Structure 1
Amino acid sequence: MGNSRFLGEYGDSEDQNGVSFALSSLVGSFWNRKWRQLKMGVTRKGAGGGGGRAWYQRKRVKGVIGLVGLYFLVNWFLLLRLHDLRGVTFHHQDRSFHNSSFTSVSVEGKWRKLTKGKRLQKGPYDRMLALAAHALAENKHEPKDLWQEPFVTASAWRPCSDQRNWVSSGGNNGYIMVTANGGMNQQRVAVCNAVVIARLLNSTLVIPTFMYSSVWKDVSQFRDIYQEEHFINYLIPDIRIVKELPEELRSLDLEAIGSIVTDADIRKESKPSFYVKNILSILPKNRVMHFIGFGTRLAFDPIPFQ
């Protein structure tokens, strides 16, 4: 059997067992010899009656107490020696680990200084920080492809909002109205899609309205969340935006003329070709199209660059 991982080169567990066995044998032989002597003494003093028996009982109790005490003393000695040897074995491991853990301790110390007096919240950031500290402690370098986009399609995206080389849409085909449903994020997506549809159909966008939801219980409208004037002015190079319909169109019965479009009429993430084929064909005639709900009803691809 090989060396124990706890004792290493400083000792072997079998040696300790051998010492324990030798001591036990020595104690056993001593006790047997004492037992025979006591038995012979009792036999000789048998005529003495009760006094000899009482003396034998006292000797027996003392012998048992001494034997138990000796047993615990030997075990205590062996355990103490084993503990000292384990301490010597792991001493060199502690010294080798000290250098690698120094970096981790320094990172942790800096983090404590930065966050002193602040209440830390457990979350992804804390887990990432712990992983970073662990990597520094092990002197691991970051992979070369860490910041590379793993998906080829996603890597093809390029910023283009500051590269406008097209003329503004005149909005001559009619007006687009949107009543967005859902929470704030769904409403934000609906507003972005409305801007794209207005540009795609060469139409004028009316400032979107938000549908009241019994779940969110929020009565806020576009003007309560966003800056209307900034929204209108910023998108002037792209589309035409108005705050409300012209007065001559407000009295139209949109449902009667077929200008109401709900989510049931449009499949989720429909392609731009759907709007060109189905909406653009009736928008110039009705002059107004009202999209109700409009939750993720426009696909991201393939959208024309302009």
Structure 2
Amino acid sequence: MKLYYQSHRGRSALAGLLVLLLPIFFPTLFSPFSHASPSLFSEWNAPKPRHSRLLKSALQRETSNGLQSDLWIPLANQGWKPYAESTSATTLPSESNGYIQVFLDGGLNQQRMGICDAVAVAKILNATLVIPHFEVNPVWQDSSSFMEIYDVDHFINVLKDDISIVKGLPDEFSWSTREYYATAIRDNRIKSAPVHASANWYLENVMPVLQSYGIAAISPFSHRLAFDNMPKDIQHLRCKVNFQALGFVPHIRALGDALVERLRYPPSKISLGDNYLREYTDANDKQGAGKFVALHLRFDKDMAAHSACDFGGGKAEKLALAKYRQVIWQGRVLNSQFTDEELRSQGRCPLTPEEIGLLLAALGFDNSTRLYLASHKVYGGEARISTLRNLFPLMEDKKSLASSEERAQIKGKASLLAAVDYYVSMHSDIFISASPGNMHNAMVGLRTYSNLKTIRPNMALLGQLFLNKSMVWSDFQQAVVEGHETRQGQIRLRKPKQSIYTYPAPDCMCNA
């Protein structure tokens, strides 16, 4: 169905007509376009392996002991360490200039960046920050609040010497709610904050609002503070928020610790439906701690549709994704003008479960590797994951590791589910992501800060390798190993315009 990937006007028009007419003639096929449920197409038509030649060799692979042991060696000291504290020991002014409210959209990790920036803006303006409000996520329909995800008392206490933070507004400002700003234009709402605004922009445009009304509500706020040309103390404060102040609530940490324990020291288990009867090994058997890889497999329908790539599900899948793209993204997916081959050769297609499995196998991970699958809904369900599971039969996730009782507090809450994945991933021996995104960026930054091994897939190289259908396993493996030698957690200094949260050196770290 190249109709959806060509730039010719005639073909694009015909494709658009098909997208509009198909739901009319086949309404039952197009009704279940829920963000949270996998497409029925992918369940009816289980995708066949796209790289069967490589897959056959990977399933028969024999990993050398040297290659396997090298993978698990922790990163050597690279000469960088986190700043212990802000270099300037400032004290809070006696009076605040007013209250700052921010309304954050996006998922867990986009909101996390927004929180860090909100603290920085409050510091710039000498304002009191109101605990940020999280918008309902339009994709996952999640209404989780800041206090449901993060330990708010810890957050306030860590930052008490930097800015003033309140959990709620005093009575005289109780009118300042999300609903209030949704009903009309309000003079104290800032809607004009440019992307990556400077500190001076806030002093010139938001400070007068604070002085006039005593409160300023900034929405939208995502990516509304620049990464460059910021005072050092502001940069250090952003780092402090991200790496020290934002701790998860106790029950998230407790569940995360339990999952990490079960990954490192697998108990014997007897399946009892959705629960497990677990018999833990004796403490004396725990002298050799197990290791595991955390794999962030962001392969949901939203990502698949937005990438405009072909994932091997046939005509039905292409039609389903095209319809989703038209309805949800309304023609804003610019990548759709390129062919699938062009997108893959440019590294612009997320890796499928099959492809990330082949990457891991080529790097040297064998079928005894314990894999933690950090993911929400995988597009195509178990049928899509089965190839990855065949390569790595010791693959686990939240559902397989935790009982239904343990999952009860996070059930149906996408942000809390993501928080558990975040927590387990930051405690893994190795982290790898199947596609760039906010989770990938957040984890790369955190693990750089802590000098932990993180494999960053070379997307362009892999795209070109997977397009070569005649490549034999030995050549594929050699190309993969060579192409990832310098992509396993080595320090990469932040370049202009790059995120401080993805590249914490040198803003958050010093060269010891």
- Give the TM-score band, short-chain normalised: 0.3 to 0.5
- Kindly indicate which of the two structures has a greater share of residues assigned to helix: 1
Q: Please, what TM-score do these two structures have when normalized by structure 2? A: 0.29
RCO higher in 1 or 2 (8 Å CA, sep ≥ 6)?
2
